[in-house]
Each structure stands twice: as C-alpha cells, then as structure tokens.
Amino acid sequence: MNLVLFDLDNTLLSGDSDFAWAQFLISRGVLDREIYEARNLTFFEQYKAGTLDIFEFLDFQLAPLARHPRALLDAWHREFMAECIRPMITQAARILVRHHLAAGDLVAVVTATNSFVTGPIAREFAIPHLVATIPAQEAGRFTGKPRGMPSFKAGKIQRVDDWLESLGLYFGSFADTVFYSDSHNDLPLMEKVRRPVAVDPDDILRRHALGAGWDILSLRD
C-alpha cells in the first residue's frame, strides 16, 4: 500500500479556499469589507512570501466562526461550495484523486486551512482522510482559536505522524509515500516523503523541484 498526501489550496483546487472563504463572508456582508479585505490580502501575500505568522492569521481567520451558530455557518458553507469551490476543481484533479483511490492507496488531504472550511471539500473529492488545522469548539460552538498544532510548514509532518500513529502506521509502513503540493511552505513535508510532486508550483518551489529532480505537473484545465 502507498501513502498519498495532497495539499489542497492551489494544488487540488485552482485557488485558495482560506482566502476565498473570507472573501465570501465579505461578499455576504458578514465581515466588514473595508477592514477585512485588506487584511485578507496582506495575509495571503505573507503566505506566498513564506513570512506568514500562522497564529496571527488564525486569530483573524477563526474569529468569525465564533460569532455565529453552527447551523448558519453550515448553510453559508453550502453556498460557498457551490459558488466558489466547485468552480475551482478541475477534471484533471478529480481524475488524479480517483486514480489513487482506485489503486487502494491511503489518501489524505493535508492542509493548513481549518477543517471547517476544508472538510466538505475533502468529501467532495471522496478523500476519506483530512489532516487540517483544527478550530477549537466548546458546547458545539467554535471558540475562535485553534486546537493543537496548526497543520502548517513543519507542523504538517507532526500532524501526519500523529494521524498515522492513530492508525497503527508510520511513514515506513508504505511501499511508497507521495505528497502533491504547489507551495514552498510545504518543503518540509515534501522532503519527508519518497516522491514529492510539485503541482503548478510557485516560483520558489519550481526552482527547488528542478534542482532536486522532482516531478512537476499541472492540474489546470
């Protein structure tokens, strides 16, 4: 059996679900455009530059979840899936995921984006496992804070290790280990697996992949 891990934003999706969720809430009037749009853009640029403070970002990104009941958040998310996420999913991405699932690989999405936003997206791909940043809850409501280590940069390795351990497995349990990602932020996990694959990579990752002889592919239609 092989282990196959997928980053989500700008890898399986031709866009960023974290950024899009905040923009969706702004478009609905849930978040103030003047305040939130500029901060959302700033955090997105910091992520691309590799300078993002993940805890500062999570304070921004998770706070709106704490202000609204879960039923309303779920209703907004269904609209978000239809309007924003499904248009970001290419046929090539669906085919690649189906190929690995049909091969009997252990498949997971490994993403820094929180599990409220990404859980339904993983299910859209029929991917059975999700390793994501977890938004803390109390009595069925989000607190606005993360629980445990964010699934970001080197934190992705620890979170994947913990997930595999919960299944009685570890990286050495597999004939092959694969990680698909677009971002240089994922270099720690890419260097952990046997077969890293750069998917529509950013410039930094592209240079690294070319120098290391890694596979490079595109999932854009």
Catalytic residues: 7, 9
Inter-residue contact 2 to 172 (CB < 8 Å): no
Inter-residue contact 205 to 191 (CB < 8 Å): no
List, as one string, the DSSP characters of 119-150.
HHHHHHTT--EEEEEEEEEETTEEEEEEESS-
Strand partners, 59: none
What's CA 28's distance to the chain center, in Å?
Answer: 23
3-state SS assignment for residue 179: strand
